[in-house]
Structure 1
């Protein structure tokens, strides 16, 4: 029998699920006890926001079906081959997988959040009793589609799970062809010990993702609050930092505050008085590292004069406070160097874009902050939601005005959102940073 271990829209953990002819088979005599198939999976086709395309992503029997134990015996008999260990299966098209943010801060963060909720005892050192996944499967991605142009996807996956094997569309189709029926008594099946299934289209059929934050990971994150350790991300973060040769004392920056600070926020709470007081203590005791991620190219960049004024304001602030300032052009650093810097960063700022994904490697301390610059009137939830999910404070900036949760603006992509004339008032941003570190802001 197939066992349902855990489910949320777009995220499901099964034990003993079968695959034959490309379809997944849930063997159960009580299908009414299970979630609707459309809440677990889809056809995995490319996603577009049109009624016609949405209809093509509704699953059919060729994607997943329920069968009874008797039907399974009739279909497969003893022609079943076990696939041992834990399998992460990402049922998304390459459209999303080949982007560093979507790959790490959506898919993998969701996979790990959902899976790690099975171990509520993960500690501040990232120690866990969970079995590492044996394989990652992308049934709808060609061999190179999961790789991003910066090659951080590969870096991440092999740093966190160095023994993991990879299967893509060609491998999945090969398994499907090997198991398909060629007449009575010939159909075979692979039986997977445990599958952690992620499906973007199914996540968008939930309540949180489409209605509140547009983050598929939220469907995995929200319902697992009670089961999850507040250090759930530490096994992943620490693996990447060790791979990047980050010094142990830097990796352990958050350990210094684990006992003093009860403020690993659930992403929605206003900080308590105790958290604010500990934050003020942190500002006196912690080394402060400001990292300004500069976007290159003509897409989504700052007005040249405003960038120069921001650098001047940040330089003056950090010189007067004796704080460390890093003006970063990521393409000029190695991957190890980028991770090493993120691991030491107190406040990361920059224009909305892929470079801010490195916030996932920052230490979780009372001062950890992300400042994201938008064209006035524009706002996207990507890095705002990710920051809060990890327990960090996020500020959205429109030139000389800032917003933070729970009073952030609604999602909007106005004209100029992707342009190269985004304004930023350097003195106001520098003042925001000073107020945050000095404890005048939560």
Structure 2
């Protein structure tokens, strides 16, 4: 069993017994990130509390606990984030020989990078059960942030051996997946996969069962012992909304995070991992705005006619006929996505080689995640209504995003003034107006622009 160190409290007493590994692994450092998406190295956890081992001599930025997480005073959720003077703790290291007999319960060592999703405690809304909020916001934003920080050095095993502390009673966990975090902890939300199961499907295909840690598993893993994070990204929706300017302006949690990604390529490893899990080819577009296969562009129409957010029956019928005519004329391939009746693999496969996605504003448009970067999204909304949900996701992924309202494009310079506009129009159950002729005229022009030819 490794040696232990007493953690000093502000009053100079003892609050917890910290394993001596904390001295060998060093103080906590800030790797990067923004509020709600902070990335830290060398963090310890016990009894629903994170411990930040501060080194004043290093000149590290000091993060306010309020910029890190939202805290809970109940029996669920993170209780706090305590800052400890690392030098003061490390000064007790000379007592290691005498203290070996004290020991601690098992220490779980989580090497690599861990995503820690802090929302959903006390049954509060997290959005994790929705593909959009879980994957297009939380996961996409996390990957964007991680793509902006220096990668971890591959010397964890060497440091562990040099410190001679990874004893048989300690547990090491983690794996390697190039370009992706090592694990995801959904710490508190028991209902995170309650809708259709798509968030779970994505998480399991990317992280695997062993590295997807859910609330009950997290409770068992943390238990009464210590958990060490080599690197952790702390995701907290409320913190992002409180402190990030774009999140406040547009009412979306991950906008500031998307801005940190150096290019849309940051999402490629996750897209590739999911498609590989289902034995679906992962394609690359020859250049933005071109069809994937150099020939006929593929259009996917996301149909919502079985929901309250739909077209009049005749409008829908006319739209489908006009799209099918494009296919019969050899100008495009057309896929009809009735997602409610499709197996998950079918859904992913349908979008994996798409060039143009069109449909009424709704969660089904989140499948633009699987379209190769550089495609086109056409989001249909009623006039006078606008929601900045899928447009920023398109931008982060390298897609062109067009907003269509009845018979015309909705200009970008009106997006911010009209954001959330008359939101009842999309939610009140009334039919979505659409001039099919005007829309198809634009689609035909886009199809021609995407076709590659040397002639």
| TM bucket normalised to smaller | 0.7 to 0.9
Q: Which moved further from structure 2: 78-87 or 21-30?
A: 78-87
Question: What is the deviation of 1:28?
Answer: 0.2
Query: Where does residue 63 of structure 1 map in the other structure?
Result: 80
Distance 1:307 1:241, change over 3 A: same
1:295–1:301 contact (8 Å) kept in structure 2: yes
- 1:197 is aligned, of 210, 234, 240, to 234
Query: Where does residue 103 of structure 1 map in the other structure?
Result: 134
Separation of aligned partners in 2, 1:17 and 1:131 = 22
Separation of aligned partners in 2, 1:72 and 1:99 = 43
RMSD: 3.2
Distance 1:213 1:176, change over 3 A: same
1:22–1:173 contact (8 Å) kept in structure 2: no
Number of equivalent positions: 380
Separation of aligned partners in 1, 2:215 and 2:238 = 18
Q: What pairs up with 1:88-99 in 2 under 5 angstroms? A: 88-93=115-120, 95-99=126-130
Separation of aligned partners in 2, 1:284 and 1:69 = 56
Please tell me whether residue 355 in structure 1 is matched to residue 364 in structure 2.
yes
Please tell me whether residue 234 in structure 1 is matched to residue 268 in structure 2.
yes
Separation of aligned partners in 1, 2:247 and 2:212 = 30
1:11–1:219 contact (8 Å) kept in structure 2: no
Separation of aligned partners in 1, 2:81 and 2:333 = 54
Question: What is the deviation of 1:200?
Answer: 0.6
Query: Where does residue 315 of structure 2 map in the other structure?
Result: 306
- 1:135 is aligned, of 174, 180, 183, to 183
Question: Secondary structure, in 3 states, of the residue corresponding to 2:357?
Answer: strand
Query: Where does residue 343 of structure 1 map in the other structure?
Result: 352
Distance 1:45 1:416, change over 3 A: farther
Question: What is the deviation of 1:173?
Answer: 4.0
Separation of aligned partners in 2, 1:398 and 1:44 = 43
Separation of aligned partners in 2, 1:395 and 1:204 = 26
Query: Where does residue 22 of structure 2 map in the other structure?
Result: none
Question: What is the deviation of 1:164?
Answer: 4.3
Distance 1:37 1:357, change over 3 A: same
Unmatched runs of 5 consecutive residues or more in structure 1: 47-56, 121-127, 180-188, 258-262, 264-278
Distance 1:169 1:163, change over 3 A: closer
Question: What is the deviation of 1:23?
Answer: 0.9
Distance 1:119 1:343, change over 3 A: farther
Distance 1:237 1:298, change over 3 A: closer
| TM-score, normalised with respect to structure 2 | 0.75
Question: What is the deviation of 1:415?
Answer: 2.8
Question: Secondary structure, in 3 states, of the residue corresponding to 2:63?
Answer: coil
Q: What pairs up with 1:72-221 in 2 under 5 angstroms? A: 72=89, 79=104, 81-85=107-111, 86-93=113-120, 95-118=126-149, 130=178, 132-142=180-190, 145-162=191-208, 164-174=210-220, 178-179=224-225, 189-221=226-258
Separation of aligned partners in 2, 1:44 and 1:428 = 52
Question: Secondary structure, in 3 states, of the residue corresponding to 1:386?
Answer: helix
Query: CA deviation digits over 1:135-192, x for unaligned, max 9?
Result: 32122212xx12142211122112222364233333444456514xxxxxxxxx3222
Unmatched runs of 5 consecutive residues or more in structure 2: 1-26, 152-175, 451-455
| TM-score, normalised with respect to structure 1 | 0.77
